Structure 1
Amino acid sequence: MTHAIHWPEWVPLAGHQLRVSGVHFDAIRIQGVRGEEVAAQLIAQTEGDAGPVVCEASGGRWMYFLVAPGTAKDHRWPLGVQRFGTPRTMTYIGIPALAGNTWPLGWYSEPTPTAPYVEAGQLLGALGGLAGP
């Protein structure tokens, strides 16, 4: 994890807060081990500068890949991948602070000045890299 000094306005100063997808970011959600594998591959491909990825430490262990607002709808996502940020639905995403106690949410990869969002095309590439024969 990169310890960024970049603190976007939508990231709370302490704890965690709900933010509406489609305003500051769109979110791509992938569950459990698959989400962790995609995040690890994306981080490796970007040499540790993948952009913001939020993980849940409990329940379904969801991974939320935060892409630029309005971009989730521009791509065709594979089965099992959910997108949030379309005008038809209002979805709240939990966003943790960059420091302090944020359990059960945490940053798998933080936003940085050079990667304020996950690049949707790179995320699709990482998803494709996990496809079997």
Structure 2
Amino acid sequence: MNTQSDLEWIPCTGIQLRKAGVQFDAVRVDGVRGRALADRLARMTGGAPGPIVEEANGRRAVYFLVPVGSTCHRAWPDGVTRLTAAANRISYIPVPALNGCTWPLTWRYRPTADGHLVHARLLRAALHSAE
């Protein structure tokens, strides 16, 4: 996608925080492990894993945008953070624009016009196959 997406949750410029549980939830995996997982997932899906955001500083987090509620009722390995909405819990997910200055966030794998998100069960399978 080379132009601004029709997906209204993507900011036109810069970075915005999106509340989990509205358009999507997220799974965060930090550092080299997260980047390797993103690339493994891309290989498993023929290069179309769904939208994945990466952070260039701090813990170097990688955010996998998954369907709302898809991480519930599943065991996730240590080092994985679920960003979801639940009773007495609010999480926010950083989302960069498609173009322009968005440092320290970038799209490792850009969203597609059809709104396809990362498949949570496939993500879990990729996580477990790496261990």
> Fold match, TM over 0.5?
yes
- Secondary structure of 2:28's aligned partner: strand
Quote the offset at 1:75 in angstroms.
2.2
2:16 alignment partner AA: Q
2:121 alignment partner AA: G
| Alignment correspondent of 1:112 | 112
| Alignment correspondent of 1:75 | 74
* Change in CA separation of 1:24 and 1:115 when aligned onto 2, cut-off 3 Å: closer
Q: Following the alignment from structure 2 to structure 1, what is the Cα–Cα distance between the partners of residues 73 and 97?
A: 29
Alignment TM-score, normalising by the size of structure 1: 0.90
Maintained 8 Å contact 1:4/1:110? no
- Secondary structure of 2:49's aligned partner: coil
Quote the offset at 1:106 in angstroms.
0.5
- Secondary structure of 1:128's aligned partner: helix
| Alignment correspondent of 1:15 | 14
Q: Please tell me the root mean square deviation across aligned C-alpha atoms, in Å.
A: 1.5
The answer to whether structure 1 residue 84 and structure 2 residue 79 are counterparts is no
| Alignment correspondent of 2:97 | 97
* Change in CA separation of 1:47 and 1:20 when aligned onto 2, cut-off 3 Å: same
1:126 alignment partner AA: A
Maintained 8 Å contact 1:4/1:111? no
Alignment TM-score, normalising by the size of structure 2: 0.91
In structure 2, list runs of 5 or more residues that go unmatched. Answer: none
Maintained 8 Å contact 2:7/2:115? no
In structure 1, list runs of 5 or more residues that go unmatched. Answer: none
Q: Following the alignment from structure 1 to structure 2, what is the Cα–Cα distance between the partners of residues 4 and 53?
A: 16
Maintained 8 Å contact 1:73/1:86? no
Moved over 6 A (4+): none
The answer to whether structure 1 residue 50 and structure 2 residue 49 are counterparts is yes
Quote the offset at 1:72 in angstroms.
1.6
Q: Following the alignment from structure 2 to structure 1, what is the Cα–Cα distance between the partners of residues 56 and 72?
A: 27
Q: Following the alignment from structure 1 to structure 2, what is the Cα–Cα distance between the partners of residues 61 and 19?
A: 19
**1:2-22 CA deviation, whole Å, 9 max, x = no partner?**
x36644111101111011111
